[in-house]
Structure 1
Amino acid sequence: MTQNISLGLDIGVSSVGFSILDYKAGEIIELGADLFKASDAEKNQTRRVQRGGRRLGRRKQNRRIDAVKLFKDYGLINDSIFGGFEITKENYYLPFNHNQNPYELRVKGQKSKLTKEELSFALYNLVKRRGISYTLDDEAEQEQDSSYSKSLEINKNSLEKKSVAEIQLARLNENHKVRGQVNSNDDTLLNVFPNSAFLQEAKSIIQTQRQFYPNILTADFEEKYCNILTRKREYFEGPGSDKSRTDYGIYKTDGRTLNNLFEELIGHDQINPKELRAPNNSYTAQLFNLLNDLNNLTITTYEDGKISSADKQEIITTLKNATGNVQMLATIKKVAHCTDSDIRGYRTDPLNDKPDISSLASYRKVKKEFAKEGIDVDQWPTEFFDQLCFILTLNTEDGEIRKRIETGLAPKYKFLNKRIVQTIIDLKDSFKTSSKNKWHRFSLKTMNQLIPDMLQRPVEQMTLLSELGLIKNDHKKFKDNSYLPYKEIAEGIFNPVVAKSVRESLKIVNYFIKKYGTLDYIVVEMPRDKNEEEQKKFIQNLQKENAKVKDMAITTFSQSLSNPLDLESTLAKSGSGKLLTKIRLWYEQDGKCLYSGKTITANDLLQNPNMFEIDHIIPQSVSYDDSLANKTLCYAGMNQAKSQRTPYEFLITKDTKGAQTWEQYKAMVKANRTFSNKSNKAKKANLLFKDSLNSIETRKRFIARNLVDTRYASRVVLNNLQEFFSEKETGTKVSVVRGKFTSTLRKKWHLNKTRETFHHHAVDASIIATTPFLKIWNRGGSIFAKKIAENTIDIQTGEILNNTKFNELALSLPFKNFTDQFENIESKIKFSHQVDKKMNRRLSDDTIRSVRTTQIDGETKSFDYMTWKTKDIYTTEGFKNFKEIYDKNPNKFLMKQIDPSSFSKLEKIMSNYPAFEELLDQSSKVKRVDVSPFELYRREHGDIKKDSKKNKGPVIRRLKYYDKKVGTKIDITPSSAKNKKAILISLKPWRTDVFFNNDTHEYEIMGIKYSDLSNVKGTLGIKKQRYQAIKNKENISNNSEFKFSLYENNRIKVLNTETNESVEMLFLSRIKENQTLYVELKMIDSDKPHDTTLPIYGKVKEGGRIQKRLIPKKYNNVCRLWKVNTDIVGNTFYIEKEGDIPKNILV
């Protein structure tokens, strides 16, 4: 097997570029890109919402059915109505006269006798719409909308005097509307009432009617009815039941029944697996984090370098008693009697590079807020605070929080009164932590085991766990795996976008392990934590913002020159890139040198460029940062004097003639508006950076920020790969690098990047594969970390070098003539595309279209037409929509056919009123503005109404019209519907089967949609009868031979046997069903086609869709067709026939 292998992986949100490098020869052996659809969390959310809606609908229906069954069992309704059949979703509504006014019956039923039919309908109406499960106070607090809260307050006050039915009936009589928003006397009234009010009303009706129907409305009936009216599945149960189990709820398919669904969502402690992880805002978790951070510190003023137990206790007491902002370093310095330079071993915030030491912040915030209400949180037991935080972290709705506190905590803690409970709910936001992680890695039990020792001794958590025998170091995670278990590893990554990319990349690693046996180096570049659209938008916005700043810089610079034409002539020369960078930095710095404070004139910068230099604010050999965020424009003398120091180290010495003091420099930086922008936060941090570059910890932090990727997902990948290869004793070295560094290498090596094709993924992977062999690592540094934790890294650092030496070692080619290999690399790059064979995907879009059968104009027979509505005709846009349809064919409007007199009223208004109005603009000039003629009419006469005797017809606002003839569809018309149909359109294609007719020597195809599939006894597929029907519709000959099936992103090859000309494309789907052989294709190496001429298929327009006949007509009898399968790395396998019969046909 070939040795000396370095594997580079460029992982994106929808791609993995890979490259195999023989590092002894400096030769790229193979490279390519695996392309797939990015996982999209928003689509998952859409599915969840729709699934939740279906469940909610089923539960509403089941509640109504159960109520009707109860009425039947107790004789409230007549059993004969159902004709002896069981009560089901098809017939449960039959006993009720829906023309009755249920609100009148519910009001009457609380005071006087109802018939059994009226009583059953009144009680049924209560079950049908039973209100919200929380109090109106809790619901109002959840909503930020003041008008919504005001409407709920109106309802709450009304309920003190009236029942829900009385309020609803009064609104119906006064406003002719109950549901939705009702506008009355400048108030917005909402039909939102608590379930408890409906329950109270139901009990009142039953109590009143019991004197008339004592044998029916028994206590047992009342109990069962009230249970149906109020029952609600607890949020922590999830879907399913004991009889219908699902792994998405507490009733697991393996027979287990959990107490709380969140037991699995929260996760369990690895040390005590039966215990749930603790909330991060609990006092115990905060104390544990504080002690762990303190024990990690090394402070030189202590004999052993560690904080004593007494001083730790003093720090805890100080923090608990603090009333204002806390600076942890200041607190520690005061207790330990030391200076900043004496303290080492703390984390830093990656955003601002400031010390990040736990400080009981959440506890202090809660204590401060509750003190304002006269409540001393210090008096609460720690166990209570921890349990309360668990409830507040799990629940967001005030009603649920109240319920959990009153049922779970109030019985155990007698000091909990109504006032404290309400205060907790009012101040629940004070318990929130700034961290994204709501749950600690350990349980309360584990932390309580460790805290006493951590308080007494200077020992950090992992060491203590080992001492107590709670973790075993000899456990081998991958002992049963010959290859990387990519599914299990990716489960540790919670971002679905990144998790999918990691799974695909680990499959590629496994492939190369099988092929080459041993991989000496693996270097990975991870994707950003964004989905595909977010990533594209981020890049577009970044490019747009950069272009904007560049243009402003050049414009400002040009205007500052004595002769602006000088700039044009200078930029016209080659090699002007460095000048453009200087101009941009000049613009950002308001034309000043930050080190000296002196002005840099535009004329000097253009005519005497050697007077000025671009300085790396933090030396590159420390920061590994060549971005604009680490560059400044300064006088050459200042740059030479600063040398390999930070601005702080340079200016604090006060020994350089002409330099500012540190305080003057700092004031200038802070006053600069450009540096205050959010996008320049990193630059400002670099300019004001004060830590010593001689500190190993400081240099490690720069490596973590700009070279080695320490994000959570990156740590998961790195640590698992390192552990796997360590167990297998292969000696493989693994690193996860940041894209910023490889981007710098690409620029320095003049490998221009274009995103128009997919080739750049493989090229980037090749650059990544070379990073272990840069000459800089010969000076003591490394990209291979021994260990990476959150914001900390254990890695070897190198020398501090000047920029010339750094560029020579770090940015020069690692192999002689290495970039020559990229000149004609495109033909060597292999592509694999994820083929979508999944059967349970979306059938169509969500819009339900109404269908009517009619004849329009000269049609000789009736057709099914979809109906649609115009936009609001009083708006300008709505009128244009109406006019566009009217001008094409006014007979398309249903109103013209059904109510011609009302339609003629609209036509008359259009002829009498213009479609514009003349207004005065700000300069008092007359300006013609588009307007709807219907709006002009409304201003004079009010809304346009349909013709009626007393002119009280409904307002005409949106008009229905016949849109398009119905094509392929899913008919969802209810069985009870008459003269109307409801359909779903935009049916999604699943696969296309390809046949060859040996009689005509032509290919034939038939398209199958997801809506054609069925589920027969748990097996998905297409029924044989349905398959044959499609086959007949597509005119597939019975004698035609099945060749293969094509799914989305299958590759095909077409060969002209006469000219030997061939082309390979990606197949998308069968299109234009009324036309033979039409399909949509895609280029293999790009998402959008280039403006080119393809073999066999001819011209293709840039950016357009490629819609062609699978075999063009002129080549009908001279072309051969192959399906091309690929493996994960793009190796091709050509198939002319894959079986005698198609798959997934159900008998």
Structure 2
Amino acid sequence: MTYKLGLDLGTNSIGWACIDNNSKKIIDAGVRIFQEGVDRTTSGSEISKNATRRLKRQLRRQYERKCQRRDNLTVKLKEYQMFSDDSALMFYAMNPYELRTHGLDSQLSKLEFGRVLLHLSKRRGFKSSRKSQGEDVKKDTAFKEELRRLPEEIKANNCRTLGEYLYSLQVKGEKVRCRHTERKLYEQEFELLWEKQSSYYPELTQEMRDDLRDHDIFFQRPLKSVASLIGNCTLEPNKKRCPKSAFEFQLFRILEQVNRLNYKNENHDEIKFYRTPDEEFSPETKDRRDKLIALLKSKEKCSFKDIRKQLKLEEADFKIEQNDDDFLIGDKTSHSFRKIFKKTWDTYSDVEKEKILQVINFAHDNSWLRTYASEKWGLDEKAVKAVVKIALEAGYANFSLKAINKILPFLLDGLNLHDAKVKAGYESSRGERSEIEIIKNIRNPIVSKTLYELLALVNRLEKTYGAPELINIEMTRELKASKKQREDIRKKNYENKRINEKAADALTALGKTPNNEAIVKYKLWQECKEHCPYTGFRISITDLFSSAFEIEHIIPYSRSMDDSFMNLTLCHVDENRRKSNRTPFECYNGSPQYDEILQRIKVLPKAKQRKFMLKEIDDDFASRQLNDTAYMSREAVSLLSKYKVQPSKGQATAKLRHLWGLNSVLSQSSEKNRNDHRQHAIDAIVIALTEVKTIQKLSRYSKYDRKPTLDRFPAPWEYFRNDVSEAINKLTVSIRVNKRLRGQLHEETFYGYTGRKNDKKMPIFRVRKNIEDIKLSKIDEIADPKIREIVKNAIEEAERREAEKKANAYTTQRDKSAEDTKVAIEAFLPTKDGRKIPIKKVIIYIPSGNMIELPGRTNNKTFVAPGANHHIVIYRYKDNKGNVKQGGEVCTFFDAVKRFRHGEKVIRKDLGENKEFLYSLSINEMFLLDVDENEFSLDPQNYKELSKKLYRVQKISSSTQITIRRHFEATLDEKTPCPYPNTLKGIKVVVDRLGRITKAND
């Protein structure tokens, strides 16, 4: 069977479609949904799954080591008669800040001095390692500023130590906690206190001081070597990857960028700063290329504006493949050193520079580095401080130093990276790498996750239908972007959503229907300050929604295929007809009107202004649309190198989907239904049918009719929309089920047992919570009645002020800062002397029957909530009257792991007497609801009917309630059924990767 395969790749989905172009039919289509390759924070920012686990592991280790240090110190304090179990209550009741102050001038008892030492070990301040200070502290400017300012405040208050300063604040009633402090302040205070107290106690020897200081109070483990974690070179497997701070890599990156750069000169000839092995540079191009390389070697980065100026190419339009930035990266390492060594740096030989770099990289002690920099390099105090604070580029390259040195000569000659690797004796083609090797070498977790799923899907399709004759691939912007770019996209999408909501509210207030076209028109109206950019006519709100003004493509759609907001503006209908199929430059250049237009567009975004001034566009858009060389596309092509693969951009997909009437397949409107996973299959069908001739045909129609309608633009074949609708309606979405016992065992909050039970004989636990986290409906859980009433009144007052603020914000065009800033809850506990103590946290009582006791934490028992549920077992039993019923038994993730560790079956089928196991259900497993086991058929011919009854498990509550939703729903509907086991009727099924339904083998 010969067919074309269309693939729509997303960060957590793949839509696919097999099209037989000869017989004009859709062979098959489907959607695969899987978990994204990263975790998301509450704000939506991404963080790798490894980073999440690593952070939690680091916190556990820090906590355990802190406890270990405290326990070790306590043992030694007992040995030195500075602590006693018999006097523990009195010991901990002493004010450590007061003792730290008095101990500077007068004698403390041994117990009091022991209390001081234990307090210093508990709050010992921040100490940065040389390797982390450049990155971590540099990122948090406020943190760094607080560390710098604190010693000045101590001196300004005539205090000798941090403890004395904090005690002076405590006496005034000011807070002393939640301050960022440096370790050296505590170390200085320790020395002063020990010197004074040892004058009263001769037994406090020098050896004792050194032992307590270096092994208990201020002990710091040396940084663990990360050499074993550095990946191996992709070209020299036995060599480790090169640090990015290495001079060789800095030059490698400069050349790799330059060798992808090209521009058009005044004659519109394309000039390339790279060549093939058979080509040679012209003298002029070589000279400019050499100047550019020298320029980048002298800077940290260089904007294209500066490059044009330095190369005297003011009119050049630079393009660099695979790069959306407006600058090129230079030699970051040399730039950092040049700021320290000034002009002297460029007089050093390569050997001397390398030695300086090695000293910086391998120095772990700041004191040693200060001495070395001063004595060996002859630097002044200011330069020495800069050396200590230097932050070289972190991370490692893909290649080893050996491979880079072998490739560099060919990059210097102007070859691109691929040709340079071939010349250096590495890989003759990308296809020689194995599929798994390609994925393993991808360090982007989002991309690698999608490619794993892609590989498995294509292999399964080949086994079922044979190899496709052509694969068309389209992917989301997120898959093509770096992490920083994905974060920018997320923020931009959020901001666009806010703007659209504001526009919709404004339209509703004006009595207009806020559909997509009206919202776009309103946003463009605001953007151009209520004036037509072309004619200067003022546009009233009445004119805006009349036929006098219409949405216009700045660069004609038929020539750019760009229907994005950045290519749209408003234009008077008559002027739009006059402009016709031309760019603003082509239509108005040389006329006084063009000068007026250029003045009016200064209120528009820079990107739009450039479109108004663009002198030439690439009219060969059809081939450009089907040739996207972004990172994700290249890796997908490599992965499927044994097939004929055509990566493509997605700008035409949305237009064709609309013109072929496919948006209404899943909704009544003409807009794409993004709440239905099956939209990805529709996109895949369009992608499979997107060819150069289709794009060219779309161009011809767009040239004469800006908005071609369905009856003017032909579908691929007769009854095409009906065929798509039929394929989609019988489609069953395949969702990856993850039953791996890997994740958080329990919730993070620790609870204490009160020793009491409520009226229902349920144990009561206590926990401290921020008052901001307490809702009025849970106010009765606060333990203290007096505080409960105070907090209740404070929350009610905060809610009242919040409502007023929102109302005011709405009447003032919904000010963003007013919306985002939450009103604080202010609660105070009055004292007998008239003071008001702020209430930040309260103790609440929580009755619970499923808390888990954690062994070996502290002397007091510690409990945690079990967290997520792993599965529920559905069983059949007979009640006391002999009636057959169904029940459910929930297994938490904690219990599932416990069973696995004990060698037991995770899913228990032996439930005891009078309980017959039926099946188990986990998150994302599939269920045919209200289907009789004896009457149903899983024949693919019945999929259209089965699709209506196919649900997936969304959530399992501890009360055995099961939340389910339709297999294709991307969001949870409020009308979604949430049955209990006794009302759950149907059959558990499995949906494989291609959407085939089989009965579950439970």
Tell me the residue number matched to 1:180: 177
**Contact 2:258/2:293 (CA < 8 Å) preserved in 1?**
no
Question: Which 5+ residue runs of structure 2 have no aligned equivalent?
Answer: 42-48, 263-269, 274-278, 664-671, 806-825, 937-945
Amino acid across the alignment from 2:717: F
Deviation string 1:889-940 (CA, Å, 9 cap, x unpaired) is xxx77545xxxxx799989x99xx9x999xx99xxxxxxxxxxxxxxxx99x
Residue 17 of structure 1: how far off its partner (Å):
1.9
TM-score (norm 2): 0.74
Matched, 1:51 2:57: yes
**Contact 1:490/1:503 (CA < 8 Å) preserved in 2?**
yes
Residues 987, 523 of structure 1: alpha-carbon distance in 2 compared, 3 angstrom cutoff: same
Residues 555, 281 of structure 1: alpha-carbon distance in 2 compared, 3 angstrom cutoff: farther
Residue 1041 of structure 1: how far off its partner (Å):
3.0
**Contact 1:268/1:275 (CA < 8 Å) preserved in 2?**
yes
**Contact 1:707/1:737 (CA < 8 Å) preserved in 2?**
yes
Q: How does 1:233-312 map to 2 (within 5 A)?
A: 233-235=221-223, 237=224, 250=225, 258-259=226-227, 263-264=230-231, 268=233, 270=235, 274=239, 276-279=241-244, 285-286=250-251, 289=254, 293=258, 304-307=281-284
Matched, 1:133 2:98: no
SS for the counterpart of 1:270 is: coil
Query: How many percent identity over aligned positions?
Result: 19
Give the distance between the partners of 2:563 and 2:570, measured in 1 at CA: 14
Residue 56 of structure 1: how far off its partner (Å):
0.4
Amino acid across the alignment from 2:453: E
Residue 15 of structure 1: how far off its partner (Å):
2.4
Which of 493, 496, 499 is residue 545 of structure 1 equivalent to?
499
Give the distance between the partners of 2:490 and 2:954, measured in 1 at CA: 22
Tell me the residue number matched to 1:1122: 987
**Contact 1:295/1:454 (CA < 8 Å) preserved in 2?**
no
Give the distance between the partners of 1:1059 and 1:692, measured in 2 at CA: 65
Residues 315, 961 of structure 1: alpha-carbon distance in 2 compared, 3 angstrom cutoff: closer
Matched, 1:418 2:399: no
Deviation string 1:975-1011 (CA, Å, 9 cap, x unpaired) is 8778xx7543363211122333487543333111123
Tell me the residue number matched to 2:969: 1086
Matched, 1:627 2:538: no
Amino acid across the alignment from 2:426: I
Tell me the residue number matched to 2:921: 1046
Which of 669, 679, 686 is residue 611 of structure 2 equivalent to?
686
Residues 852, 1072 of structure 1: alpha-carbon distance in 2 compared, 3 angstrom cutoff: same
Amino acid across the alignment from 2:974: G
Give the distance between the partners of 2:149 and 2:542, measured in 1 at CA: 67
Residue 414 of structure 1: how far off its partner (Å):
1.7
Residues 637, 962 of structure 1: alpha-carbon distance in 2 compared, 3 angstrom cutoff: closer
**Contact 1:1053/1:1122 (CA < 8 Å) preserved in 2?**
yes
Tell me the residue number matched to 2:820: none
Q: How does 1:309-320 map to 2 (within 5 A)?
A: none
Give the distance between the partners of 1:465 and 1:533, measured in 2 at CA: 33
Which of 496, 499, 502 is residue 445 of structure 2 equivalent to?
496
Question: Which 5+ residue runs of structure 1 have no aligned equivalent?
Answer: 83-90, 182-189, 238-249, 251-257, 559-567, 726-731, 780-797, 887-891, 897-901, 922-937, 1090-1101, 1114-1118, 1139-1147
Deviation string 1:388-413 (CA, Å, 9 cap, x unpaired) is 78999x99xxx979579548x83996
Residue 133 of structure 1: how far off its partner (Å):
1.7
Residue 771 of structure 1: how far off its partner (Å):
1.3
Give the distance between the partners of 1:547 and 1:106, measured in 2 at CA: 57
Residue 420 of structure 1: how far off its partner (Å):
1.0
Tell me the residue number matched to 2:953: 1067
TM-score (norm 1): 0.66
SS for the counterpart of 1:41 is: strand
Tell me the residue number matched to 1:513: 462
**Contact 2:623/2:692 (CA < 8 Å) preserved in 1?**
no
Residue 62 of structure 1: how far off its partner (Å):
2.6
Give the distance between the partners of 2:541 and 2:164, measured in 1 at CA: 79
Give the distance between the partners of 1:151 and 1:663, measured in 2 at CA: 54
Which of 717, 722, 742 is residue 820 of structure 1 equivalent to?
722
Tell me the residue number matched to 1:933: none
Residue 1088 of structure 1: how far off its partner (Å):
4.9
**Contact 2:752/2:766 (CA < 8 Å) preserved in 1?**
yes
Matched, 1:720 2:639: yes
Tell me the residue number matched to 1:770: 689
**Contact 1:644/1:800 (CA < 8 Å) preserved in 2?**
no
Deviation string 1:292-334 (CA, Å, 9 cap, x unpaired) is 6279667599995255766655566677789998845545755
Matched, 1:665 2:597: yes
Residues 279, 180 of structure 1: alpha-carbon distance in 2 compared, 3 angstrom cutoff: same
Residue 683 of structure 1: how far off its partner (Å):
3.4
Tell me the residue number matched to 2:181: 192
Tell me the residue number matched to 2:831: 945
Residue 228 of structure 1: how far off its partner (Å):
3.8
Tell me the residue number matched to 1:14: 12
Tell me the residue number matched to 1:1009: 892
Which of 459, 462, 466 is residue 422 of structure 2 equivalent to?
466
Deviation string 1:676-701 (CA, Å, 9 cap, x unpaired) is 3xxxx54333222223536xxxx57x
Tell me the residue number matched to 1:201: 190
Tell me the residue number matched to 2:869: 989
SS for the counterpart of 1:1081 is: strand
Tell me the residue number matched to 1:1107: 978
Residue 54 of structure 1: how far off its partner (Å):
0.9
Residue 179 of structure 1: how far off its partner (Å):
4.7
Residues 283, 811 of structure 1: alpha-carbon distance in 2 compared, 3 angstrom cutoff: farther
Give the distance between the partners of 1:108 and 1:605, measured in 2 at CA: 77
Give the distance between the partners of 2:2 and 2:990, measured in 1 at CA: 30
Which of 721, 737, 741 is residue 839 of structure 1 equivalent to?
741
Tell me the residue number matched to 1:76: 80
Give the distance between the partners of 1:602 and 1:894, measured in 2 at CA: 58
Give the distance between the partners of 2:200 and 2:844, measured in 1 at CA: 57
Residues 977, 8 of structure 1: alpha-carbon distance in 2 compared, 3 angstrom cutoff: same
Residues 466, 642 of structure 1: alpha-carbon distance in 2 compared, 3 angstrom cutoff: same
SS for the counterpart of 2:870 is: strand
Q: How does 1:252-651 map to 2 (within 5 A)?
A: 258-259=226-227, 263-264=230-231, 268=233, 270=235, 274=239, 276-279=241-244, 285-286=250-251, 289=254, 293=258, 304-307=281-284, 327=305, 330=308, 334=312, 346-347=319-320, 358=328, 360=330, 377-379=345-347, 406=370, 410=373, 414-423=377-386, 441=398, 457-467=413-423, 469-473=424-428, 477-478=432-433, 484-485=435-436, 488-529=437-478, 542=496, 545-546=499-500, 548-549=502-503, 594=533, 616-631=553-568, 645-651=582-588
SS for the counterpart of 1:823 is: helix
Give the distance between the partners of 2:386 and 2:490, measured in 1 at CA: 45
Count of paired positions? 923
Tell me the residue number matched to 2:265: none
**Structure 1 range deviating more: 832-841 or 1050-1059:** 1050-1059
**Contact 1:651/1:661 (CA < 8 Å) preserved in 2?**
yes
Which of 18, 26, 29 is residue 27 of structure 2 equivalent to?
29
Give the distance between the partners of 2:720 and 2:571, measured in 1 at CA: 35
Residue 55 of structure 1: how far off its partner (Å):
0.8
Which of 211, 223, 232 is residue 220 of structure 2 equivalent to?
232
Residue 227 of structure 1: how far off its partner (Å):
3.9
Residues 501, 800 of structure 1: alpha-carbon distance in 2 compared, 3 angstrom cutoff: same
Residue 145 of structure 1: how far off its partner (Å):
6.2
Deviation string 1:825-869 (CA, Å, 9 cap, x unpaired) is 44321222222322233344333345535588xx5x865334577
Residue 747 of structure 1: how far off its partner (Å):
1.3
Larger radius of gyration: 1
**Contact 2:298/2:330 (CA < 8 Å) preserved in 1?**
no
Q: How does 1:748-897 map to 2 (within 5 A)?
A: 748-752=659-663, 753-772=672-691, 774-776=693-695, 802-803=703-704, 812-852=714-754, 864-867=763-766, 881=776, 894-895=783-784
Could you say what the CA RMSD is over the residues aligned between the two structures, in angstroms? 5.9
